[in-house]
Structure 1
């Protein structure tokens, strides 16, 4: 057991341990931070900035509405389906103050995906963007959702600007499809009704669930990882400990291009940065690089949190390369493997090195990171404070340093388990609290770790987990499909791209366009395959299980042959 192995591996100034019980719950952290940093900027978007004091007041109004104008009770689940807009932190912190459990939901989900998540979580309330409300109209009647709050992008901007921006989005850009939700309440009406009303701040225990964060884990059907108040507080403190020597409290400006509904951005920007009173600049649409670069030009930002694909795209943008990076002192990477070429280019362009980390939804998410003072490229760094790692063989036996095995993690940030899925929980978590990651790694003698491969068939597209089982289940509903398989193949832009293999039923023919149209209608954009190959048969085991690994190996050989000698 490597109990004391990492104690002397942390650079000077970084404590080896944190106290996850320092705060009783997230509400206590929020209250303390918003009082301490009341006049400091917390979140900015579309030219509007909320201070910590303003955010606390607005979240209080949101909480008061939930408590006094609905029948929602502490422990009920509320689905938050918003992009990076100011309403997101207001809604999330308001829901938590009211004692509700937040169910983070991707705004780009299809109706099918929404229906599964709302029903699985038992969500009783939903807050969504007007742009996606037409999908809610289809889905809500099939779920237990009773309360719906709809917001428009600019709802928290000053009145004239709010009217202008929302009108342009709705009538000029036509980005809000018609919808009919007669029982829905407008976000600003919620704040108006809750304004000045008393809030009964609920005080849950540390072991109570704060967030249900959906993930496929290592198998297909999306499961809700139960992240407790203690889990989130632990990860806040762990992040702060690692950044203490490089980021000051209440003075830093962090660029937030990754979606807050994703656990990586959620914990770092909404939780860790809240603890340290720093300023998050929300980027609503990072795919619009020109608009993003224009926004970046307005700020003397000191921190940037991204992933490999975004670093590559920005460094290839001439306007980005001309920005002033004199204040940038911290760049963090996670969500997908950081390529050496991308890290080197970022350093050349910005003058700032990238700290790569590693984590999972099930670890709230940060499990390890390269300390800024001692970055080792090609590794995922060392475990965050109060965290242990080990590698095991197929028999579950711990391996010596330097041997390849499945990475396991133990720490106060490890989830409580999967929501209402004890069998899946038992597969991932053992009786001693060790989480099996499904990733194959090496722990080096210096304490730094390297991910070698993935044990399972999960595909990682631009930092998002894609699960072959789900894609195959969807494709199997297309008439004419006999067999199918989904794999990930290397891709320079997204890390991995999805390829589908299809065997048609005898006497039936399908086209690539038919397959792509079916997938686009049923899965989020990042889950849509890049390529489709039709075959007469797929490789299988003697019991008929399709050998995805064999298909993947074939594709890798093809790619190797295409490379110049």
Structure 2
């Protein structure tokens, strides 16, 4: 397939190659929304034209704060067609956190959801932060009958701003977007500190999206269930954009529930279902699974956290999925560093993150830190030259902050976060090894291990666990199990049972909140 290096070029090719094939099916509405690739492109041009009519210029930043629905890819690609830069906002943000990113990115427009599941982002922003908002604020309707808000244009009213002139200008701007123009500013998850804005170029973003889609062998015959949030690389750059490049149909899901996801798979004959490990853990443990036909699934891709080996085994054995792929990435590389392939054996998939994506290379520092270099590495951090220099060295190597090993075949294995390591009695302890062990204890659904202060040993491990409702586990039993498989300095000294873990939107456990 001929390569393209801007998102407008990708959508133009999709609309030309598969004009009447389904691009997007959103079943979350009383009347499902279905768009072909030709129709999707026209909707995108409408958004771009309305942005232009509202005064948005090439290079302006436009924020998007809304859960997964058909509006999101239409708005995001519309931003790009207007020559502007997309700034996705985490839907778990408070209004104060959202306005912080809006101000730091100097956004000139904001797309924001209205009332949804008891929250109303648009109303929150207007009530508490009206003075800090840009002039262009567009409300995405996720429920019917919303009252008008001063200073906010509703979706349909915003689109009514389009004219023949602005639509023509939108097409001109789309053609003028250059591969080295900034496509988006994604803010890091902030698991280890204040979030940073990552500047990615169109060519960097699409190099990763193409490599991801090619590795998964996506095609126009695939149907992709999108539970990963669109504001994250896993939903946007490993979701919307690979589908656009390979003609795959998108099925957005705003709220993940195991029952709803399984119903979608069965009803829509979903073939591709990526997600964080916790997604598949909950499906595997859901008693309703036995009554649903999930046999259409051909590809599961997981990552975004340490993946227990036993989980990979259960996805293959219990769900009957032909291809399970684990991958590894981070926002600073558009989400793409290494991946297993469909041809890898089960042991490789279960125990590694595979080899470098096409266009990337990986190496280890003297301290075992994973380094990445290649087409997907960011231009740098927004307004933070020092952090950029500390993260990407003079030779172009991105310092990931993860600890890993690389075997003789080039397979990367992440053993832990550099900042998660603690020292017990003079020994370095990497929690991921302990978490892998605890994952095999019957009844444990997920674990997180941190180091806590100890007068004698400096630090010792504390394990936090979620368990099945029928599990018969206590602290002594968990510690005894760990002693069977781990050296003494690695064995947790205490165990805390929790109902749920604090997480960021990518599914990563926020260990600093446990501490």
What does residue 94 of structure 1 align with?
78
Q: Kindly state the Cα deviation for residue 195 of structure 1 after the two structures are TM-superposed.
A: 6.6
**Correspondence list, 1:424-503, <5 A:** 424-457=387-420, 493=445, 496=448
What does residue 136 of structure 2 align with?
147
Q: Kindly state the Cα deviation for residue 458 of structure 1 after the two structures are TM-superposed.
A: 10
- C-alpha contact 1:336 1:495 (8 A) present in aligned 2: no
- C-alpha contact 1:264 1:366 (8 A) present in aligned 2: no
With over 3 angstroms needed to count, the CA separation of the structure-2 counterparts of 1:133 and 1:539, relative to structure 1, is: farther
What does residue 397 of structure 1 align with?
none
**Correspondence list, 1:288-303, <5 A:** 288-303=257-272
Structure 2: runs of 5 or more not aligned: 116-120, 423-437, 465-473, 482-515
1:190 counterpart (144, 158, 168):
158
With over 3 angstroms needed to count, the CA separation of the structure-2 counterparts of 1:153 and 1:195, relative to structure 1, is: farther
With over 3 angstroms needed to count, the CA separation of the structure-2 counterparts of 1:365 and 1:185, relative to structure 1, is: same
2:42 paired with 1:57: yes
Q: Distance in 1 between matches of 2:404 and 2:163?
A: 52
Q: How many residues align?
A: 435
Using CA pairs below 8 Å that are at least 6 residues apart, which structure has the higher relative contact order? Answer: 1
What does residue 222 of structure 2 align with?
252
- C-alpha contact 1:218 1:438 (8 A) present in aligned 2: no
Q: Kindly state the Cα deviation for residue 307 of structure 1 after the two structures are TM-superposed.
A: 1.6
**Correspondence list, 1:408-419, <5 A:** 408-419=371-382
With over 3 angstroms needed to count, the CA separation of the structure-2 counterparts of 1:24 and 1:280, relative to structure 1, is: closer
TM-score, normalised to structure 1's length?
A: 0.72
Q: Distance in 1 between matches of 2:192 and 2:418?
A: 11
Q: Kindly state the Cα deviation for residue 296 of structure 1 after the two structures are TM-superposed.
A: 2.5
1:210 counterpart (175, 183, 203):
183
**Correspondence list, 1:111-510, <5 A:** 111-131=95-115, 132-153=121-142, 166=144, 181-194=149-162, 197-201=167-171, 202=173, 203-216=176-189, 219-244=192-217, 247=218, 249-286=219-256, 288-352=257-321, 353-375=323-345, 376=348, 377-394=350-367, 405-457=368-420, 493=445, 496=448
- C-alpha contact 2:213 2:238 (8 A) present in aligned 1: no
1:42 counterpart (13, 23, 33):
23
Runs of 4+ displaced beyond 4 Å: 216-219, 490-495, 549-552, 558-561
RMSD, matched Cα: 2.8
- C-alpha contact 1:386 1:412 (8 A) present in aligned 2: yes
With over 3 angstroms needed to count, the CA separation of the structure-2 counterparts of 1:256 and 1:218, relative to structure 1, is: closer
Q: Distance in 2 between matches of 1:48 and 1:337?
A: 36
Structure 1: runs of 5 or more not aligned: 1-17, 155-165, 171-177, 395-404, 460-489, 502-537, 541-548
- C-alpha contact 2:364 2:371 (8 A) present in aligned 1: yes
Secondary structure of the 1:564 match is: helix
2:8 counterpart (27, 33, 37):
27
